[in-house]
Amino acid sequence: MSPEFQHLFSPLQLGGMTLKNRLVALPAGTSMAERGVPTHGDTEHFERLAAGGVGMIIGGATVVHRTTTLRSRKLIEGYLDEFVPATAAKVDVIHRHGARFVGQLCHLGREFIGGESDAPPSAPSPIKTVRDAYPPHELTVPEIEDIVEGWRISTRNLVRAGVDGVEVHAAHGYLPAQFMSPLSNQRGDSFGGSFENRMRFPRMVIDAMKSVIPDGFVLGVRLSGEEEIPGGMGIDDCVRIAENLAGLGIDYFSITHGTRGKYVKDSTNEDGVAIPSASRVRAATGVPTLVGQRIRDAGTADHAIKSGHADMVGMARALIADPDLPIKSQTGRLEEVRGCLGINQDCRAFDPHLHCAVNAEVGRGRHPSVGVAVRKPKDVFVIGGGPAGLEAARVAAGRGHRVTVFERNETLGGAVRMAAAAPYRATLMDIIDYLHRETRRLKVDVNLSAGIEVDDIPDILDSSDHVIVATGSRPADLPARLRGRLAATVDDVLLGRLPDVRIGQAVVFDEGDGFWPAYSAAETLAQSGWQVTIATPLTSLASRVPAESAGPLLGRLASAGVQFAVAQSLVVPDDSSAPLHLRPVFGIGDTALGDVLTVWHTPRVPVSSLGIEPGATVSVIGDSLAPRRIGHAIAEGYRAGAEV
């Protein structure tokens, strides 16, 4: 074992159980449930986490009452009898790997996390969120008591399933937090008004849970140190709440930040954002404290414990990206850790369940040939050193094939390197750096500045047993009618290849993508002092940017003075001396633009596949097949490398 991270990988006595280390897999549901019951795929996911070496796993939010289920039934429903045997099977495989399992219980209240429900939203008071269409039903006292009973039944079912503990989800603006916050609780009865009254509901929940848990069974509470909404609760409120609950026999507090839409931090946030809040709670209560949220590596985690800010450190997306992060960190194999990019794309889409942009096995399972050495190694040539080609090379070489990569440019990365040049997006290169390290470890022959031309293809085919074409994509050509005008592509902006002009005004036209490129170009220009307008014929802004990233992105752009023109087409007259116009998609009334730099964004186009057709000995993958996202490139590269 490596001598590093001794604090993180030391044991901890928590309530009646001993953790082998202090690294915790935070609650992150898989949506692999049928009619509210976890499936075999869900169990496999949690076994994979346990096998990677964490000390404790907290299951994704399990709802406690029929009033907080989704129509899809993808949330696990802890009050069902069928929940018990399915969860017991999960507990068995987790225990087999030496990890402990804690179930998290939740009622969403007025929040419905973007899914339809056949039950109305319900809350302490009929105050609508900014995220949902309808004001919630104000809970009656008998309804409150029935929900508390749901917590008791769900806790009893966890005990029956053999879990090691239970956590109350009182963070992220869900029902317990709605009762505790004056912003969402404006009741005039014994459940509202004073602090003591607002604490009545969470205390009733904890009392009901304690009535059915045995000695030594761990009880935790998750709280938001900062809700990060106007008028929401802050760290002083969180400390006061924790002090109030500590006397109820709480074994640990789990501290996070945010409410729905804000608590999954993207790459624009600093690492370890909730550590100061956890430190305050720990110091005030003396109760063991768990902290998570954008903690991506063992070094950050170890330092939080060593410095006395927390007793345990949790990770969610970092362990989805690489479940083996614990064992790799503990054994000095840090170079082999596949880092989380913090882009919230596949892991937050739940289409139809959990996936990961950089780990193709999440949601799909491990390909049966991966991890199995081939009996007869082949010579595999990979044309292209972007994410698809490098992932294919990694997987094929890991199986024992002899792999050679040819990359036309002087550096690896393809379109990812371009995207990473945008403000706050540098962590995108983490996946390329990881794959490059893996190619070195696996002795892949990587050739840079080694473009393959059509004339080279006969020799390539003759010299190899299998060819994987991953030539990637390039920016689409600017419209011909922009010739003679000041115009650029997104790539030109990100690389600083702009005309030497002093006009200072730009219009970035997103023809219909709704994803990062146009907005990254606008932010780059705004940071350089340009006055920028984003125009799009779409009826919403950044419509394909993940929800947790879209709000911060648009906020930054607005703060930088960027103007937004939604449902507007950009009209370019044939006469190059005539001004451009914005034209409403709906209605009439053009708006003339002055002298502007035009950044016209159309989705990228494939680079030539060199005339090689897919077949038994040829695979065409990634953007060279059709330009899409990192997750598509990684998934296709993984499959191609596994199937050679």
Q: What is the CATH number of the domain that holds 424?
A: 3.40.50.720
Residue 593 has what pLDDT?
A: 94
When mean pLDDT is compared across 350-354, 368-372, 536-540, 608-612, the lowest value belongs to 608-612
Count the alpha carbons within 13 Å of 256 in the hemisphere toward its beta carbon: 25
Number of domains within the chain = 3
Which residues fall within 8 angstroms of residue 147, CB to CB, at 6 or more apart? 64, 65, 67, 107, 139, 175
At residue 112 the predicted structure's pLDDT band, cuts being 50, 70 and 90, is confident
Residue 502 has what pLDDT?
A: 78
Residue 615 and residue 597 in one domain: no
At residue 469 the predicted structure's pLDDT band, cuts being 50, 70 and 90, is very high
Residue 488 and residue 421 in one domain: no
Identify the H or E element spanning 33.
strand 33-34
Q: φ and ψ at 635, to 5 degrees?
A: -65, -40
Residue 190 and residue 296 in one domain: yes
In a domain, 243, yes or no: yes
The DSSP code for 536 is: E
In a domain, 5, yes or no: no
User: What average pLDDT score do residues 333-341 get?
Assistant: 97
In a domain, 1, yes or no: no
d(CA 29, CA 39): 12
In a domain, 131, yes or no: yes
Residue 192 has what pLDDT?
A: 98
β-pairing verdict for 487-488 and 591-592: unpaired
d(CA 618, CA 381): 10
Count the alpha carbons within 13 Å of 604 in the hemisphere toward its beta carbon: 26
In a domain, 361, yes or no: no
CA 622 vs CA 456, 627, 640: distances in Å: 21, 7, 10
Please, what is the end-to-end C-alpha distance for the chain in angstroms? Answer: 35
Residue 488 and residue 459 in one domain: no
Residue 294 and residue 416 in one domain: no
The CATH number of whichever domain residue 547 belongs to comes to 3.50.50.60
Give the chain's length: 644
Tokens of 179: 């009762």
The CATH number of whichever domain residue 129 belongs to comes to 3.20.20.70
Which residues fall within 8 angstroms of residue 422, CB to CB, at 6 or more apart? 494, 516, 520, 521, 523, 524
Identify the H or E element spanning 605.
strand 605-606
The edge-to-edge listing of strands for the beta sheet with 568-571 is 568-571, 581-584, 591-592
Residue 70 and residue 172 in one domain: yes
- Which sign does the torsion angle of CA 149, 150, 152, 157 carry? positive
Of 465, 463, 466, 487, which Cα lies nearest the Cα of 477? 487
In a domain, 161, yes or no: yes
Mean pLDDT computed over every residue of the chain:
96
* Alpha helices by DSSP H, 247-386: 275-285, 298-306, 317-321, 325-330, 346-349
Query: Is the confidence at residue 130, as pLDDT, over 90?
Result: no
Q: Which domain holds residue 439?
A: 379-474+606-643
Residue 609 has what pLDDT?
A: 77
Residue 506 and residue 431 in one domain: no
In a domain, 430, yes or no: yes
Measured in whole angstroms, the distance separating CA 25 from the mean position of its chain's CA atoms is 14
At residue 501 the predicted structure's pLDDT band, cuts being 50, 70 and 90, is confident
Residue 421 and residue 294 in one domain: no
Of 601, 603, 605, 607, which Cα lies nearest the Cα of 488? 601
Residue 297 and residue 395 in one domain: no
Identify the H or E element spanning 510.
strand 505-510
d(CA 519, CA 158): 46
CA 169 vs CA 103, 175, 346, 394: distances in Å: 10, 9, 24, 40
β-pairing verdict for 531-536 and 563-566: parallel
Residue 283 and residue 178 in one domain: yes
Neighbours of 204 (CB within 10 A): 18
- Which sign does the torsion angle of CA 373, 374, 376, 378 carry? negative
High-pLDDT (> 90) share of the chain, %:
92
d(CA 406, CA 445): 9
d(CA 110, CA 429): 39
Residue 565 and residue 610 in one domain: no
Q: φ and ψ at 201, to 5 degrees?
A: -65, -55
* pLDDT (tens digit per residue) in 51-110: 999 999 999 999 999 999 999 999 999 999 999 999 999 999 999 999 999 999 999 999
Of 245, 270, 274, which Cα lies nearest the Cα of 258? 274
At residue 359 the predicted structure's pLDDT band, cuts being 50, 70 and 90, is very high
In a domain, 297, yes or no: yes
Residue 113 has what pLDDT?
A: 82
CA 249 vs CA 216, 218, 244, 412: distances in Å: 11, 10, 11, 54
Neighbours of 13 (CB within 10 A): 9
CA 20 vs CA 53, 311, 326: distances in Å: 9, 13, 12
3-state helix/strand/coil string of 134-154: CCCEECCHHHHHHHHHHHHHH
User: CA-based angle 408:414:420, to the nearest 5?
Assistant: 145
Q: What is the dihedral of CA 436, 439, 443, 447, to 10 degrees?
A: -60
* pLDDT (tens digit per residue) in 8-43: 999 999 999 999 999 999 999 999 999 999 999 999
Residues 65-89: b if buried by 16+ CB within 10 A, e if exposed:
bbbbbbebebbbbbbbeebbebbeb
* Alpha helices by DSSP H, 252-386: 275-285, 298-306, 317-321, 325-330, 346-349
> Last residue of a domain, which of 349, 369, 392?
349
User: What average pLDDT score do residues 187-213 get?
Assistant: 98
- Note the pTM of the prediction, 2 decimals: 0.95
Residue 180 and residue 166 in one domain: yes
d(CA 416, CA 384): 13
Residue 238 has what pLDDT?
A: 98
d(CA 577, CA 143): 69
d(CA 200, CA 550): 36
Residue 608 has what pLDDT?
A: 83
Query: Is the confidence at residue 613, as pLDDT, over 90?
Result: no
